[in-house]
Amino acid sequence: MEYKVEAHRIMSISLGKIYNSRVQRGGIKLHKNLLVSLVLRSARQVYLSDYYSGACLNAAQSEREWDITDTEREKFPPSTTECDRVESSEEPQKNERPEKEREYRENDDEVKSDQADCTSTLQQEQNQNSSQDSVAKVSSETLQETINEPKESPSDSALAELDSTPEANGESHQPPKTHVCSNRKRSAEESESGDSPQKKTKVASSNAKEGEEAEEMDTSNVSNLITIFGSSFSGLLSKDGAKPESEAEDSGQICCDQMLKNLNPWSTAIVAF
Amino acid sequence: CLSGIATVTKEGGGNDVQWCFSQVKGAIDDDVAEADIISTVEFNHSGELLATGDKGGRVVIFQQETENKSQPQCRSEYNVYSTFQSHEPEFDYLKSLEIEEKINKIRWLPQKNAAQFLLSTNDKTIKLWKISERDKRPEGYNLKEEDGRYRDAATITTLRVPVFRPMDLMVEASPRRVFANGHTYHINSISVNSDNETYLSADDLRINLWHLEITDRSFNVVDIKPANMEELTEVITAAEFHPHQCNTFVYSSSKGTIRLCDMRASALCDKHSKLFEEPEDPSNRSFFSEIISSISDVKFSHNGRYMMTRDYLSVKIWDLNMENRPVETYQVHEYLRSKLCSLYENDCIFDKFECCWNGNDSVVMTGSYNNFFRMLDRSQRRDVTLEASRESCKPRQVLKPRRVCAGGKRKKDEISVDSLDFNKKILHTAWHPQENIIAVATTNNLYIFQEKVN
């Protein structure tokens, strides 16, 4: 499980770098950001493959939850459903993890205190540990939830929360974000589907084996889940890496609003990790 | 044309060469001003001039003193010849982007007349500078006083013609051409063509061909920008023209590949003529494999038969006729392989080290951390690690080889990996085209070392 801790750490560091690159003098460096996003992708692969190796162990237990989530799928946007599955297969975490999460959260709070949208988002997350519309938020939230509420009944409590929050807060709260994120997810998925076979090979050999085994044992729904989860994240990643440059090209960076829109999913992603 | 180099080096090139301290330029202060950080070093084609560029956008040119033939042991020194501000910080209002004034690269043009010309570039704009000497001035104007004031017309009763009289040498640098707005992304390389009329400039995604006389137009020869930026997987990291074949150039990528392009084949060189790539060693796979395989520099050998690439941990020599693997691979600092995660955290893994050939292509040199630099002797299959430090600054002091202890018991005189100072990095080095004189840039100092003369 050291892989997981290591992967997690590398993901946090990578996200921090991408964020910092925005405020660096001389503009965003495409080369460095590309490399960082590649590392982030590799780390995420490892992190997720460890995730699903845990799924094998909890397979029997999780069947029930998966059935539930299948019906939920009809009701809610795909993003929330993914979370359910992800978290249901997640195994209990060490206690030191929440500390790290909180630390990063606090750090990021300071950094983004001047951005209204982000702050409200962060506060919301902190207060309710709830999920939002955006894919990244939901997925990151899930990880947070599972980490913070390990033993008892992660899926049940989280499910209940997910149940309530999208209706209560999500739709009304930040509709633009939903739109933005779902677009990203779609476009990312298209690029992702081509990429994923290649990506599989990139994972460290030991983890690759685990990932593959887990995948074989999982239902096809879960493998879809991986794709969706993976694509959404990398979509955000590549979008972010691309966005600054395309914006730079199209002179869109003048608009602060655009930057905020980009940053919001990032802020939550950073918060999560 | 470099085919007729007469080298002064001993037979065999780098064998048994002992390097001695010659000079160090720059402030002794440990507190380094960011503007003083050296960002590029380049000898001109004769080796008489040595140019450096820094983060503050300045260019400093050193000139080698003409050797005193009667005293051969008196080594020729490099002294400041000219200093000028090449680039200023700019702000792109349209994109809300600040453009750094840091000089990324300097390349000299072969000398055609009394004046010297060099190209200097920052992230966005390339400039052609003319460096000329003025050692006489006209005196005795008919209508003007010596200080320039016009004489009262009534007092002019004779006619005289001004004559040139000697004056103190003045070196002037003037911008002759400004090649702007050619690049959307950050320029990483410039390379003068052997035809001496054109040059290329490369940014992350595109390579442009310019004519030295024409500033309002450039020709795009390579464009690897994908239609959808989300599909971006690699960027261009360096590019260089072949030293003799004016139709050939190479460019390296962040994926560790080098593409050789022939401009005769097609106008757009998106399709390469040759692709140089070594298959990855699966046993070395890690999170950071992609980063460390990114090529930071590519340089043709002087004879045009080989090219050298530098990635984070190694230097590779490629035969232009063999694409599937390099002919030689040298480990620069293999002991860092286990430290990649820390180096990623502190951003050192993104450092772009350059490399260079000696005059007869027998030895290559590249920098490392802790102010170490490596000399890799191809003919002797030997390598040595030397250090540029203020401790070894006595005139003609011979540099002692350094050794890094990777693990286990540290021997006397060895330095352990954990004691290395990663803030002291040597990214830029240059080798005199004919003699065994090297210029090594630490953060803000330029060291000049010469071969020990007995």
DSSP string, A146-165: HHHS-SS-HHHHHHHHHHHH
- Chain B contact for A30, CB < 8 A? yes
Distance between CA atoms of residues B177 and B184, nearest Å: 19
pLDDT interval class at A233 (50, 70, 90): very low
Structure tokens at B205: 């995604």
For residue A121, the distance in angstroms to the closest alpha carbon of chain B comes to 26
Which of A9, A30, A234, A236 has the most B C-beta neighbours within 10 Å, making it the best mutation to test the interface with B?
A30
- Cβ atoms of A19 and A266 closer than 8 Å: yes
Number of neighbours of residue B334 by Cβ within 10 angstroms: 12
For residue A236, the distance in angstroms to the closest alpha carbon of chain B comes to 9
Cβ–Cβ gap A188/B287 under 8 Å: no
In order along its 454 residues, chain B shows pLDDT tens digits of: 333 333 333 333 445 789 999 999 998 877 889 999 999 999 999 999 999 999 999 999 999 988 665 555 556 899 999 999 999 999 988 888 899 999 999 999 999 999 999 999 999 999 999 999 999 998 888 888 878 888 888 888 888 899 999 999 999 999 999 999 999 999 999 999 999 999 999 999 999 999 999 999 999 999 999 999 989 999 999 999 999 999 999 999 999 999 999 999 988 988 899 999 999 888 888 889 999 999 999 999 999 999 999 999 999 999 999 999 999 999 999 999 999 999 999 999 999 999 999 999 999 999 999 999 999 999 988 999 999 998 888 888 999 999 998 877 778 888 999 999 999 999 999 999 999 999 999 999 999 999 987 7
Q: Going by C-beta distance under 8 Å and a sequence separation of 6 or more, which residues neighbour residue B233?
A: A34, B255
Q: Which residues of A touch B224 (CB under 8 A)?
A: none
- pLDDT, position B294: 97
Burial (Cβ within 10 Å: 0-12, 13-18, ≥19) of residue B171: middle
Ramachandran region of residue A231, left (φ > 0), alpha (ψ -120 to 50) or beta?
alpha
- pLDDT, position A144: 42
- pLDDT, position B365: 98
Q: Give me the sign of the Cα torsion angle B172, B448, B86, B184.
A: positive
Sheet holding B428-431, edge to edge: B19-25, B446-451, B437-441, B428-431
Strands B414-416, B403-405: parallel, antiparallel or unpaired by DSSP? parallel
- Cβ atoms of B307 and B298 closer than 8 Å: yes
Burial (Cβ within 10 Å: 0-12, 13-18, ≥19) of residue B278: middle
CA B131 → CA B125, B127, B169, B190, distances in Å? Answer: 19, 13, 13, 19
pLDDT interval class at A59 (50, 70, 90): low
Cβ–Cβ gap B291/A38 under 8 Å: yes
CB contacts under 8 A, A 74-133 vs B, are none
CA A210 → CA A48, A205, A220, B418, distances in Å? Answer: 10, 9, 17, 34
Q: What are chain B's domains?
A: 39-148+167-451 (2.130.10.10)
Q: Give me the count of residues in chain A.
A: 273
Distance between CA atoms of residues A268 and A83, nearest Å: 15
Q: Give me the sign of the Cα torsion angle A184, A186, A187, A190.
A: positive
Please compute Rg for chain A using Cα positions: 18
Structure tokens at A10: 């590398």
Distance between CA atoms of residues B243 and B361, nearest Å: 13
- Chain B contact for A17, CB < 8 A? yes
Residue A83 half-sphere exposure, CB side, CA atoms within 13 Å? 31
- Measured in whole angstroms, the distance separating CA B242 from the mean position of its chain's CA atoms is 16
Nearest chain B alpha carbon to A8: B287
pLDDT interval class at A123 (50, 70, 90): very low
Cβ–Cβ gap B229/A245 under 8 Å: yes
CB contacts under 8 A, A 154-193 vs B, are 187-188, 191
Task: Say yes or no to pLDDT of A196 above 50.
Answer: no
Distance between CA atoms of residues A194 and B87, nearest Å: 43
Distance between CA atoms of residues B73 and B436, nearest Å: 15
Cβ–Cβ gap A246/B229 under 8 Å: yes
DSSP state string for B275-310? EE-----GGG--TTHHHHHS--EEEE-TTSSEEEEE
Q: Which tops the pLDDT comparison, B73 or A10?
A: A10
Distance between CA atoms of residues B238 and B257, nearest Å: 11
* Least CB–CB distance from A187: residue in B96, B230, B290: B230
Ramachandran region of residue A111, left (φ > 0), alpha (ψ -120 to 50) or beta?
alpha
Distance between CA atoms of residues A79 and B118, nearest Å: 57
- A7: phi then psi, degrees, rounded to nearest 5: -60, -45
Per-residue burial over A71-102, b if 16 or more Cβ lie within 10 Å, else e, is ebbeebbbbbbbbbbbbbbbbebeeebeebbe
Which DSSP letter does residue A167 get? I
Q: Which residues of B touch A204 (CB under 8 A)?
A: 285-287
Distance between CA atoms of residues A52 and A208, nearest Å: 11
- Measured in whole angstroms, the distance separating CA A190 from the mean position of its chain's CA atoms is 18
Distance between CA atoms of residues B351 and B369, nearest Å: 10
First-to-last alpha carbon distance for chain B, in angstroms, is 32
Number of neighbours of residue A208 by Cβ within 10 angstroms: 17
For residue B233, the distance in angstroms to the closest alpha carbon of chain A comes to 7
- Chain B contact for A27, CB < 8 A? yes
pLDDT interval class at A52 (50, 70, 90): low
Cβ–Cβ gap B95/A245 under 8 Å: no
- Chain B contact for A6, CB < 8 A? yes
Task: Say yes or no to pLDDT of A84 above 50.
Answer: no
Amino acid at A13: I
Please compute Rg for chain B using Cα positions: 24
The enclosing H or E element of B240 equals strand B236-241
Cβ–Cβ gap A10/B341 under 8 Å: yes
Q: Which residues of A touch B285 (CB under 8 A)?
A: 204-205
Structure tokens at B37: 């950080």
Task: Say yes or no to pLDDT of A236 above 50.
Answer: no
- pLDDT, position B153: 83
* Least CB–CB distance from B282: residue in A205, A239, A247: A205
Strands B236-241, B248-253: parallel, antiparallel or unpaired by DSSP? antiparallel
Furthest-apart CA atoms within chain A: distance in Å: 54
Distance between CA atoms of residues A131 and A258, nearest Å: 23
- pLDDT, position A86: 37
- Chain B contact for A242, CB < 8 A? yes
- pLDDT, position B69: 59
Per-residue burial over B246-265, b if 16 or more Cβ lie within 10 Å, else e, is bebbbbbbbbbbbbbbbbee
Nearest chain B alpha carbon to A235: B230
Nearest chain B alpha carbon to A251: B95
Distance between CA atoms of residues B85 and B54, nearest Å: 10
Furthest-apart CA atoms within chain B: distance in Å: 92
Closest CA to A81 of A245, A267, A191, A228: A228
- Measured in whole angstroms, the distance separating CA B442 from the mean position of its chain's CA atoms is 13
Per-residue burial over B380-399, b if 16 or more Cβ lie within 10 Å, else e, is eeebbbbbbbeebeeeeeeb
Distance between CA atoms of residues A266 and A108, nearest Å: 11
